[in-house]
Structure 1
């Protein structure tokens, strides 16, 4: 069986409280060899780190403040984040960070400030970033271009077009596709997924969110990253094995040696 990395999941979400061990086993059975778990505020960071400690070699973490939590970030919080990133062996990236104008456009200025502060921290610590950008592509790109991402990162659950993807790749970012890639009307995603170079690709689930076509509206889980990889392979006219090899290599290159992959 081909091996895969789920580059973005939320396994500490309450949706998994009743069957988390079974969800992890199904992921293994589906060929998932590593999962990047996201800790997006203080409470979730602690749970994400506990999960990684319980699943060494299978779960790593990205830690940061989600744009929808930007208004709650207080003095000293970035220092606490830096401490966690420096002391937790499972921490491989800062994220998810960025801009979200869908839910709270009125907090755009605060979101941008917290985003830029965390980009500065990523540069200081030499870590990649995991970027959340919803209905804010132009501003997200402008900040990334102005501030820089020397260690690169991931455009998580990519939702833009080919031009946006290419601009992000030019900055050293990888493009991670999730369940919406499988939706019949996601034409812009299909074009981007077919055209981008293999070295720029990742796959993810964003579980428990964004289940692929056929399971829309239901809980998603990391095992479904195989569905995303299969759809990506069809769009590109290549084998699933080629997609698996490319995305695993890209994840290892970005996140480092903690990703122990076959």
Structure 2
């Protein structure tokens, strides 16, 4: 402390610093403000309302206030997929996607063997047949969090989900993390469903061109706004507008300048505007493309 300061001065100073730091921490976690409404309404093609703090009614109201009038609620395991189907049945502007996440398949296999995975897949099949469930997903491969010992279970589960989507004529929603080559190979071997969506597209420009040639949809999230995401923006730049979707993947991947704070469907305008800048497209024109593409991809 300065020579003239007293112990009480030091205590007050420390208390003030602690209070300031606490206030900064609260501000960092506070929900971002509502952005300006979009000129044309769009859908959040991939969100997890069950992992977000607001009640479903509040989340949907905030989204609708800024022009996000439809959401696709995505399940990651049997329980969350059941919740997705129930929520979509209860809300007119919510649709569901159901699946076992790539990281769920090896967990089930490790804990209960092939029988446990088969039982869960049977449960997903029953849910996928419901009319409010428009997609099988998110499925795919994730080699970032699952080691080599889980690859076989992931690939087996992925193939089962592909077959299910084709049999029920549902969209296929793909999670692909550090597994591009195997995802593309398995889609080729199994035959991709007519409507295939790469959720939170993470490939490079060459992969985007390949997906576009196949007619696969590519959905982009808030991470395209990150400073280190130039390769992702390069990929977005080559995607035809007719194959673009937008998503939050909320509560994850909050777009800049709110990175680190809770994500939610109402932040879709922030990401869509960033996409429009990258594509050098008028915001409303891109929104019209995205709205039509999402309806076409999911069949609503």
TM-score tier, shorter chain, comes to over 0.9
Q: 1:125 to 1:19 in 2, by over 3 A?
A: closer
Q: Is the 8 A contact 1:128 1:149 kept in 2?
A: no
Q: TM-score, normalised by structure 1?
A: 0.92
2:208 aligned to which of 165, 189, 203: 165
What is aligned with 2:298? Answer: 255
Q: CA deviation at 1:142?
A: 1.0
* 4+ residue runs over 4 A deviation: none
What is aligned with 2:285? Answer: 242
After superposing the two structures, state which structure 1 stretch, 91-100 or 117-126, moved more. 117-126
For 1:172 and 1:105, locate their aligned partners in 2 and report how far apart those are by CA, in whole Å.
31
Q: Is the 8 A contact 1:149 1:172 kept in 2?
A: no
What is aligned with 1:40? Answer: 76
What is aligned with 1:3? Answer: 41
1:155 aligned to which of 198, 203, 220: 198
Q: Is the 8 A contact 1:148 1:171 kept in 2?
A: no
Q: Is the 8 A contact 1:199 1:250 kept in 2?
A: yes
Q: Is the 8 A contact 1:229 1:244 kept in 2?
A: yes
Gaps of 5+ in 1: 258-262
What is aligned with 2:135? Answer: 93
What is aligned with 1:260? Answer: none
Which digits, 9 at most, give the CA deviation of each residue in 1:117-143, with x for residues without a partner? 111111211211000001111111111
* 2:234 is equivalent to residue 199 of structure 1: no
Q: 1:64 to 1:21 in 2, by over 3 A?
A: same
Q: Is the 8 A contact 1:180 1:210 kept in 2?
A: yes
For 1:65 and 1:51, locate their aligned partners in 2 and report how far apart those are by CA, in whole Å.
18
For 1:46 and 1:63, locate their aligned partners in 2 and report how far apart those are by CA, in whole Å.
8
1:66 aligned to which of 98, 101, 106: 101
* 2:164 is equivalent to residue 121 of structure 1: yes
What is aligned with 2:19? Answer: none
Q: TM-score, normalised by structure 2?
A: 0.81
Corresponding residue SS for 2:49: coil
For 1:128 and 1:75, locate their aligned partners in 2 and report how far apart those are by CA, in whole Å.
21
More helix by share: 2
Which digits, 9 at most, give the CA deviation of each residue in 1:63-114, with x for residues without a partner? 111001002152333232222111x221001000000111112311110111
Which digits, 9 at most, give the CA deviation of each residue in 1:221-258, with x for residues without a partner? 0011111110111111111101111011111111113x
2:186 aligned to which of 128, 133, 143: 143
For 2:87 and 2:168, locate their aligned partners in 1 and report how far apart those are by CA, in whole Å.
23
Q: Which protein shows a greater Rg?
A: 2
Gaps of 5+ in 2: 1-38, 109-115
**How many residue pairs align between the two structures?**
253
Corresponding residue SS for 2:223: helix
